[in-house]
Amino acid sequence: MTELRNPKPVIFISSMPRCGSMWAYNVTRALLSSSGITPLPESIPPLDDQLLREVATTDPGEGRLWCVKTHRQIRPHADYIRVICPYRDVRDSLMSYMNFRHSTFEQALEAVIDMMQITDWYLRDKQDNVHAVRYEDITDRPAEAVTAISEFLGLSVTAKCIEKIVASLSREKVVSHINKLEKDSMSTETTNKKPVVTVRNLDGNYRLYDTATGFQSGHIGTLDDGSWRTELTPEQCDRLSDLTSEWIERYGFS
């Protein structure tokens, strides 16, 4: 949990992992840019420790706003804080987490506890400066989701601008971007490349991380929602259901 002291407006995309938070983050940055506001940081670090300390103490300057993605809990009570909290059926997030992070079921089950806690932290009590974004709205109604985010932030953008943002962050566009990222990483030429770093998976291997967008190799999952029913063993399904049943009911998942 992070306590912030910077009195300037700060926007956080703060949520459980594997729920469309990077999409919401890039949408928010695009909306700010379209409104003539420069989102900071310009380069997105894989780890947010130093960034959160900088946000807490640094005035971003005229015409600039901090816009930070994190999976940490941010105290949303201050008037200058705006939190966008995507969320998803936590059982599907578990499957996506296992696939993306190369984790074991036990590691993912531990992560699920944090996933439920951060969602409850923001959504159990209705707060005016917290905006919830359900994963199905991102996948099925992206234009409406973008419009809702712009209204929450008090930004006036045109329907054409929203359409352009949705198109630029479609599943196909992001997959194409990631594929190019991986292809470029194997090239010996470095001219005009965006900064790319590596991040360690839980199995010890590495994935690529684009500091310009935050998207990473393997970022777009290929599993269908509900795949936990067939991909996990019956014992694992029972353990997952026992852990998540109250949360699932609380947020209206079947």
The per-residue pLDDT for range 234-248, each reduced to its tens digit, is 999 999 999 999 999
Going by the DSSP 8-state scheme, the letter that residue 74 receives in this structure is: B
Q: How much is the pTM?
A: 0.88
CA angle 191, 41, 156 (to 5 degrees): 110
- Which residue(s) pair with 68 in the sheet? 12
What are the Cα distances from residue 226, in Å, to 109, 221, 230, 231, 237?
16, 13, 8, 9, 11
Q: Pick the more confident residue, 227 or 8.
A: 227
112 with 40: CB under 8 angstroms? Answer: no
Size of the chain in residues:
254
Helix or strand run (H / E) with residue 22 = helix 21-34
What are the Cα distances from residue 90, in Å, to 11, 101, 130, 228, 241?
24, 15, 20, 10, 10
> What ranges do the domains of the chain cover?
10-250
Q: Is residue 185 pLDDT above 80, yes or no?
A: no
Q: Is residue 6 pLDDT above 70, yes or no?
A: no
Fold for domain 10-250?
A: Rossmann fold (3.40.50)
Q: How far apart are CA 149 and CA 138, in angstroms?
A: 11
> What's the rounded mean pLDDT across residues 40-49?
88
Q: 61 — alpha (psi -120 to 50), left (phi > 0) or beta?
A: left
Q: What is the pLDDT of residue 157?
A: 92
Mean pLDDT over the full length of the chain? 88
Which range (20-34, 72-86, 209-223, 228-242) has the least confidence? 209-223
Return the structure tokens found at 112: 């699920």
Q: What is the pLDDT of residue 1?
A: 39
**pLDDT cut 90: percent of the chain above it:** 61
Q: Is residue 5 pLDDT above 70, yes or no?
A: no
Q: What is the pLDDT of residue 191?
A: 43
